[in-house]
Structure formats: C-alpha cells, structure tokens
Structure 1
Amino acid sequence: MRLPYIADPPPTSTPDEAEILARVQARRAPNGILPLDRALLYSYPVADGWNSFIGAIRTKSSLTTVIRELVICRVAVLNGALFEWEQHAPLLTQGGLGDAALKVVGDAGADITAKVTEEVLSVAEGAVLRYTDAITKTVRVPDEVFEAVKERFNDREVVEITTTAAAYNCVSRFLVALDVGEKNH
C-alpha cells in the first residue's frame, strides 16, 4: 500500500474510536479486519461511515447475492480493482453464478447482449451488467438501459442496484488509488 497500514489491532485513543473499531470488527467477524479497514482506520469517522454504508449495501439490501455481487465484481473489473475482485468473485460463485458467466463478468470488453442470447447470462443479469457499465464508465445511464433494469426489478431493487454500483465505484477508487492489498502497482 502507498501508506503503511494501521497496526492490527488498531490503536484507539478515545472511547468513540474504540466503539468505531468494535463496529468494524463486528462486521468483519469472524475473519478479522481487512487491509481495507487498516487503511480506512487512519480516519475513524470515515471508517465508521464507510462501515455503516457499505455494511448496509452488503447485508441489508433485498438483492440476491448474485445480483449484488454481479454489480460489485463488474465495477471491480471496469476500474481495475483487483483486491475488490478477489474478495467478491468467490461470493458471486458461491451465490450460484456459473463459470462461463463469471468469465463474462471478468471481461470488460465482453458482448453482454451476445452472452444473453447464448444464455450464458440471464436477461436480468445482462440488464444489470449493462446498467453497471453505464454507471461506471459514463455516469449517465441511457434510457433504454435504465428501462431494461426497471422492467425486471422493483423500485427498491433499482435503488439498491444503483447504490451498490455507486458505492463500489467509491470502494474501487479508494483501493486503486492507495493500492490497498498491493494489487494495482
């Protein structure tokens, strides 16, 4: 990483910091904190907000594991966030996405429409990948791309797909900029 990691366990100097650290550790249990946490904990308030926001996206949304992790993994690929990919691709596989579909997600230049036609991806998965691509690459989502997602997901799910893509664009940019996990430089 481009900065030294905070010690593990991280030192705390106030009761507020100790509470924040306990929340981060609780979300990561039973595996312990990640290098990402050891970078974020330079700023306890930022780590706390991050933990709460990303924790909600990861554990409190109504999205299926496949849809959530499809978005996260695609953002990782498009932004070159290898640490993020390594953390989330196994979750996508565990969620039930097949190997051929995982290869499509991992290929930033894949023809999503062709892979839906070939039934490597479902229509819903293809719509989510095109939507994630638009959010990540250009920010603006063409109407037809939005409508394809809106036809297959309810309003809450559309918001959760959108916030997942937005949040993990933030995550990937942090990971790549600081080279968290030593994967990007």
Structure 2
Amino acid sequence: MRLPYVPDPPQTATEDEAKILASVQARRAPKPLLPLDLALLHSFPIADGWNSFIGAIRTRTGLSTVVRELAICRVAVVNGALFEWEQHAPLLQEGGLSEAALQVVGNARTDFSDVVAEEVLTREQRAVLKYTDAMTKTVTVPDEVFQELKGCFNEKEVVEITATVAAYNCVSRFLVALDVGEKNH
C-alpha cells in the first residue's frame, strides 16, 4: 500500500466515528476488516459513504450472484485490479460459474463473441460482460451492446447492472492507485 493502513482496530475520536467503524465491521462480519477497509478508514466520512453504497450494490439489488460477480470480476480484469479479482472470483465460482467460464472471464483480451465464450457462457452472461467491457474501457456503450443487455434483463436489472459496473470501476481505481493489498506494484 502506498500509504500505511490504519491500525486494526482503528482508533476513533468521536461517537460518529465509532458508529461508522461499527457499521463497517458489521458489514464484514464474521470476517475481519479487509485491507481496503483499513485504507478507507483514513477518512471516516469516505468509509461511511463507501460502506453504504457498496453494501447496497453487494447485498440489496435483485441481481443473481453470478450476474453481479461477473460484472465485478470483469471490471477487475479490465482495470488490472488483482485484489478485487481475488476477492470476487471465488464468489463467482460459488455462484455456479464453471472453471472454463472463469478462465474466459479472466482473459482481458476476450470479446465474448467467439465460439469458446458461446460454449461456456450463457447469452445473458455474455451480454453483461460486453456491457461491462464497454462501460469500463470507453464509458460510452454502443447501441447494439445496450440493446443486447436490454434484451436479456428488465429495466430495474439494467440499472442495477449499470450501477454495479460503475461502482466497481470506482473500487478498482482506488485499489490500483493506492496499491491496496500490495497486488499492483
């Protein structure tokens, strides 16, 4: 990490900071705080907002585990966020994605239109991955990529997929810029 992590457990100076810390710890429970948390807790207001927003993305959408984790893992691959990949690829496998499909997702050069991708990923999964790539690589999503996603998911799901991709682009950029987890430098 390019900055020192805060101590674990972090010191709090106010009742508000103590509430924020308790909220972050509760979201991670029963596991301990992650290096990401120990970086974010340099700023309690940032940690609080992050915990709320990312917590909603992770636990309060209607997306399946596979759809959510496909978007997150692909952002990690495209942005080279190894810490993010290591945290989320196991969740993708637990959600039922095959090892062969995981290899395709983990290849930064895959465009998801070849025969191998079609053999190991569903139409819906490929649509999520193409959309994630467009949002992450160029921000602007071509109409045909958007229409493919919209043909597989309802409007609520499209919004939730979009928010997930956007949120985890933020996460990956934070992780890589500060080298959280010592994976990128």
SS in 1 for 2:114: helix
The answer to whether the Cα contact below 8 Å between 1:116 and 1:122 also exists between their aligned partners in 2 is no
In 2, Cα distance between the equivalents of 1:71 and 1:117?
15
Deviation of 1:124 (Å): 0.5
Q: Which residue identity lines up with residue 130 of structure 2 in the other structure?
A: R
Q: Which residue identity lines up with residue 139 of structure 1 in the other structure?
A: V
In 2, Cα distance between the equivalents of 1:133 and 1:182?
25
The answer to whether the Cα contact below 8 Å between 1:83 and 1:183 also exists between their aligned partners in 2 is yes
SS in 1 for 2:110: coil
SS in 2 for 1:152: coil
1:140 matched residue in structure 2: 140
Task: Work out the percentage of aligned pairs sharing the same amino acid.
Answer: 72
2:95 is the counterpart of 1:121: no
In 2, Cα distance between the equivalents of 1:25 and 1:182?
22
2:8 matched residue in structure 1: 8
- Per-residue CA deviation, residues 47-97 of structure 1 (Å, 9 max, x unaligned), is 000000000000000000000000000000000000000000000000000
SS in 2 for 1:38: helix
1:78 matched residue in structure 2: 78
In 2, Cα distance between the equivalents of 1:158 and 1:108?
23
1:42 matched residue in structure 2: 42
In 1, Cα distance between the equivalents of 2:118 and 2:181?
36
SS in 2 for 1:89: helix
In 1, Cα distance between the equivalents of 2:140 and 2:177?
23
Deviation of 1:184 (Å): 0.2
Relative to 1, partners in 2 of residues 1:34 and 1:144: Cα closer, same or farther, differing over 3 Å?
same
Q: How many pairs align?
A: 185
2:180 is the counterpart of 1:177: no
In 2, Cα distance between the equivalents of 1:114 and 1:13?
55
Q: Which stretches of structure 1, 4 residues or longer, exceed 4 Å deviation after superposition?
A: none
Relative to 1, partners in 2 of residues 1:110 and 1:61: Cα closer, same or farther, differing over 3 Å?
same
Over the aligned positions, Cα root-mean-square deviation in angstroms equals: 0.9
SS in 1 for 2:32: coil
In 2, Cα distance between the equivalents of 1:13 and 1:93?
41
In 2, Cα distance between the equivalents of 1:110 and 1:143?
20
In 1, Cα distance between the equivalents of 2:123 and 2:142?
17
TM-score by length of 2: 0.98
SS in 1 for 2:2: coil
The answer to whether the Cα contact below 8 Å between 2:83 and 2:175 also exists between their aligned partners in 1 is yes
2:159 matched residue in structure 1: 159
Relative to 1, partners in 2 of residues 1:153 and 1:122: Cα closer, same or farther, differing over 3 Å?
same
Deviation of 1:118 (Å): 3.8
In 1, Cα distance between the equivalents of 2:111 and 2:165?
20
Q: Which residue identity lines up with residue 63 of structure 1 in the other structure?
A: L
Deviation of 1:111 (Å): 3.5
